[in-house]
Amino acid sequence: MATVLAASGLIAFGFLAQWNMGNSYAGDPSDLQSREQKGLAFINARCTLCHSSDLITQQQLDLSMWTKVVDKMIKWGAPVSAEERKVLLDYLSTYHGPGEK
């Protein structure tokens, strides 16, 4: 009986946590549609594990420089897949490239 109650509690908690993420960037970034939403979600989910978002977004680098930075972070252990890397580079170079604010 205790196991059933514990399992029910975990299921309810998981459901509520998922429901609460509907309007947040804290969910799975691949569920989001726009380039900006996905990129920001990956920044929040992967990069801000070690860095503040301000440190990342103030850089204003071009695609070549962002590629070097992202690849260096992956080499140092950032948990970024090949697909996520593409999304991050697209987002960073588009929204945080030279001249962007």
* pLDDT tens digits for range 14-67: 444 443 433 334 445 555 568 888 888 889 999 999 989 899 888 999 999 999
Sorted by sequence, the CB contacts under 8 Å of residue 45 that are 6+ apart come out as 25, 26, 29
Q: Are 96 and 62 in contact (CB under 8 A)?
A: no
- Sequence ranges of the domains in the chain: 27-95
Architecture in CATH for domain 27-95: Orthogonal Bundle (1.10)
pTM of the model: 0.65
Query: DSSP character for 99?
Result: T
pLDDT at 9 over 50: no
CA distance 80 to 70: 9
